[in-house]
Amino acid sequence: MVEFIFDDIGSYPLPEGVSREWIEASFEEEKDKVSEIIGSAFLQKLQAGVTVPTYPQFQDMNKQFLSILNDPECTVSPFSLKPECAKIVELEMLENFAKQYCEETGSKPNLRVCVTGPLELYLQQFGSASYPDILNLIASSINLFIKNAIEDAKNFNVHTISIDEPSLGINPEVSFDSAALIEAFELASSYAHKKGLDVEVHLHSPLYYEVACRTKGINVIGVESASNPGYLDLIDMAILDETKSYLRAGIARTDVFNLVGGLNEEYNTNAWKEPKLLEKLVTDLETPEVIEARLRDIYDRFGDRVLYVGPDCGLGSWPSQAIARKLLENVAIALERF
């Protein structure tokens, strides 16, 4: 029987009445309330059937890490973190909820830890300027975040590490060659690789996926193949076999603005103002049948090189938690039928 690991990318809609501005500003002042929101979203993912959920991401993916990297009190030199500062606050907030889950089920939940990649953070700071030594400093600091996440986990199992690199293959400002990128990725993934964890690089375009394949510490390549099936044409099975790399295939579309645009055109309305119509995202469009058909096509092409599956990208822009959860449930149903 074929078994896939069902994960998600991370971001999730906030509860009704809670703004992203509020939650980003409240991690310190309203820590208990933020913890409740994060814990609830995490449990929703588990209850929907996600086997390796990512900690719910409600912060800006760049600011979350750059705010620490740029804090003089947290660095021994520019972009070189003090180990005690390399903490992902969401993981600390999840401990009590994971403990509760463990007490109720008898087992620790698995967790996917997503960090913003060194290249993405570098581009935010320096754009097209090429300073390989700084890229490596950022990569080594990201490795500290990963190390602490693994070592500090008490009530959940850190199963997968994901390095999010949306600019690789898209942003024309990338000025590093493959060798420099591989060196940085190996630094960022070194501790997780040492511990034998799966390490994924999440790409928004697989144009330079071979860089990740040839990185010793990375063994899973994330491809947004539901909304962009043509991306799979860029993947060479021979390279996957040669480098012993696996795919994390997107099998459910998450490009919600395009999906809602289709509803607007079909029904000649603004679906964002009609909650009932928005439900068609998961009752008419991204159904278990559609998702299963995608999975079968991908498996027919890549077979056992497909290891992880789930939605293309995060669900933070989706209309509500209920609809986002239903999408995850549809993926779970598709996997069960497969």
pLDDT of residue 2: 72
pLDDT in tens, 147-189: 999 999 999 999 999 999 999 999 998 999 999 999 999 999 9
Is domain 5-337 classified as CATH 3.90.330.10?
Answer: no
3-class state of residue 278 by DSSP: helix
The DSSP code for 13 is P
Give me the pLDDT at residue 50, please. Answer: 98
At 111-121, the pLDDT tens digits run 999 999 999 99
The string of pLDDT tens digits covering residues 222-253 is 999 999 999 999 999 999 999 999 999 999 99
pLDDT attached to residue 28? 84
Spatial CA neighbour of 164 closest among 197, 137, 140, 189:
189
Query: 187 is written with which tokens?
Result: 């630094």
Q: What is the pLDDT of residue 24?
A: 87
Judged against a pLDDT cut of 80, whether residue 85 lies above it is answered with yes
Q: Where are the domains of the chain?
A: 5-337
Average pLDDT across the chain, whole number: 95
CA distance 34 to 11: 15
Residue 262 phi, psi (nearest 5): -65, -40
d(CA 3, CA 225): 19
Answer yes or no: is pLDDT of 29 > 90.
Answer: no
Secondary structure of residue 314 in the 3-state scheme: coil
Rounded Cα distance, 76 and 65, in Å: 16
pLDDT tens-digit map of 237-295: 999 999 999 999 999 999 999 999 999 999 999 999 999 999 999 999 999 999 999 99
Q: Can you give the pLDDT at residue 54?
A: 97
Express each pLDDT in 39-84 by its tens digit: 999 999 999 999 999 999 999 999 999 999 999 999 999 999 999 9
Render pLDDT for 91-108 as a digit per residue (tens, 0 to 9). Answer: 999 999 999 999 999 999
What would the two tokens of residue 25 be? 């500003």
At 1, is the pLDDT very low, low, confident or very high (cuts 50, 70, 90)? low
Which residue's entry shows tokens 């996600």?
A: 50
- Give the pLDDT confidence score for residue 218 in this predicted structure: 98
Closest to 220 in 3D by CA, of 328, 332, 305: 305
HEC profile of 194-244: HCCCEEEEEECCHHHHHHHHCCCCCCEEEECCCCCHHHHHHCCHHHHHHHC
As a whole number, mean pLDDT of residues 203-213 equals 94
**Cα pseudo-dihedral 115, 118, 124, 127, rounded to 10:** -160
Maximum alpha-carbon separation in the chain: 58
